[in-house]
Amino acid sequence: MTVEVKDRDLVSIQEARNLVMAADAAQRAFASLDQSGVDSAAGAVAAACEAQAERLARLAHEETGFGRWEDKLLKNLFASREVWRSVRDLRTVGIIREDPAGRTFEVGVPVGLVTALIPSTNPTSTTMFKALIALKAGCAVIFSPHPSARGCIMETVSVIRGALSALGLPVDLVSSLSMPTKEATAALMRHERMNLILATGGNAMVHAAYSSGTPAIGVGPGNGPAYIERSADIPLAVRRIFDSKTFDNGTICASEQSIVTETSIRREVMDEIGRQGGYFLPPGDSERVERVLMGPGGTMNAKLVGRTAEHIAQTAGVTVPPGTRVLLGQETRVGEKFPYSREKLMPVLGFFVEDDWEKACHKCIEILSLEGAGHTMAIHSRDEAIIREFGLKKPVSRLIVNAPAALAAIGAASALAPSLTLGCGAIGHNSTSDNVGPLNLINIRRVAYGLRELDDLRAAAPPGPGPRPREAPPDQAFDELVRLVMERLASG
């Protein structure tokens, strides 16, 4: 029998309060552990998540309908095994750094209690990742799941709690709202015992996190263009872009959202795109697809997020060749009313052509200024001077060179720090430009021994200027001026 819950918002707020109190007590106990104890907990959680990676990937795909479970499996393995490998040797609690010469040492102090917002696009992998970095930092974390992915997120949390229980640790170090509502999420973020918010989601949610009064690390939207410069290996560039854009059907926000190329190689790029399963929509069909990309209110159409190119075409009433991997709309305009220039978490790309690299550079900046400033973009080129020019000028936190942007930005296909929370810096209205990790979840207490006394500082100070000439009192100076003037007039 199904029991209807009345006053759902009030019940969810009370759940949030209960979770905070339980997590706070668990974190206080956890804070007594040394680095070895913290690492044992985080390592056990990583291993448990890795063991359940496939089952949780299938659950995420079944519940949300987004992407491909095979790619979600890779994301789960990345968020558990690869992230743990990258952070396991970090010192995060106790003395983390010493400088004998300068007579200082630094102490890692967990920020304490963290609330983490989890999106529906990468639900299980983001839950694993945020739990792992929180535990590695000595923190407790409470998740606020996207309602459409609640089941798979709760199941991931259950796996994590099982690993903690097996070690005899408080399971409330990691917990989740079972009744996610806006009111409950707000209660978590604004609670007086909450120390930090990790916000991954839409603009409204990130803005709410920064407006809560609790310190927050929020990450903004991506809208990264991929520039194919005339010196690029064009077949390889297209392959990398398509590998990225079709991975989990484009649900990683660092995936390419448009291609910008040059007039001199336009035909070659277009032919290669066709060979690799891209389909340039004719003008009428392009307009039909354009009309379904955004939903009411001008936001991304959630019903098409993470769907295949063929599904999107069918929804728009457009026929495409069998095996089409990516839809492309040729565009010249950039703006909120032109969806091909905006973020599309699906295998759809805008296609822009400019006369030379300087104009392409400006087009990329125009696209990023519309949406995605501070996030990620890609360049495919063998001209190091142009690559460096882009690195110096582009308003992004990650410029990906000759690689699939989605996989390189998160650190899976590059040497960047492995992370599923990518900061956009001040230009993206974020508090950090980092690939967020455990070190973002600790404070550092600096202990410094004295090296000099006040007398030492005075002795080392440069000598001051000599004594200044003594100034006459104001009335004497005026009388002297009058005397000189009168003498000059008399001798006139």
The first and second tokens of residue 92, run together, are 């995060």
**What pLDDT shows up at residue 1?**
47
**What pLDDT shows up at residue 366?**
96
What is the residue-averaged pLDDT of the chain? 93
- Structural domains of the chain, ranges and CATH numbers in brackets: 8-220+437-445 (3.40.605.10), 225-411 (3.40.309.10)
**What pLDDT shows up at residue 450?**
96
**Span 370-379, average pLDDT:** 94
R_g of the chain, CA atoms, integer Å? 29
Per-residue pLDDT reduced to its tens digit, 75-87 = 999 999 999 999 9
**What pLDDT shows up at residue 296?**
83
pLDDT score of 408 more than 60: yes
**Span 191-211, average pLDDT:** 85
**What pLDDT shows up at residue 411?**
97
The first and second tokens of residue 210, run together, are 């920064």
Per-residue pLDDT reduced to its tens digit, 207-260 = 788 888 899 998 878 999 999 999 999 999 999 999 999 999 999 999 999 999
Per-residue pLDDT reduced to its tens digit, 261-280 = 999 999 999 999 999 999 99
pLDDT score of 155 more than 80: yes
Query: Rounded to an integer, what distance in angstroms lies between the CA atom of residue 79 and that of residue 134?
Result: 13
**What pLDDT shows up at residue 7?**
80
Taking phi first (over 0 means left), then psi (-120 to 50 degrees means alpha), and beta for anything else, what does residue 306 get?
left
List, by residue number, the catalytic residues. 253
**What pLDDT shows up at residue 206?**
78
pLDDT score of 72 more than 60: yes
More confident residue, 187 or 1: 187
Per-residue pLDDT reduced to its tens digit, 114-136 = 999 999 999 999 999 999 999 99
**Span 149-169, average pLDDT:** 98
The β-bridge partners of 104 are 99, 448
**Span 17-25, average pLDDT:** 97
More confident residue, 470 or 442: 442
**What pLDDT shows up at residue 490?**
62
Query: Rounded to an integer, what distance in angstroms lies between the CA atom of residue 267 and that of residue 262?
Result: 10
pTM for this one? Answer: 0.90
More confident residue, 191 or 207: 191
**What pLDDT shows up at residue 9?**
85
Q: What share of the chain has pLDDT > 90, as a percent?
A: 85
Query: What amino acid occupies position 31?
Result: A
**What pLDDT shows up at residue 200?**
79
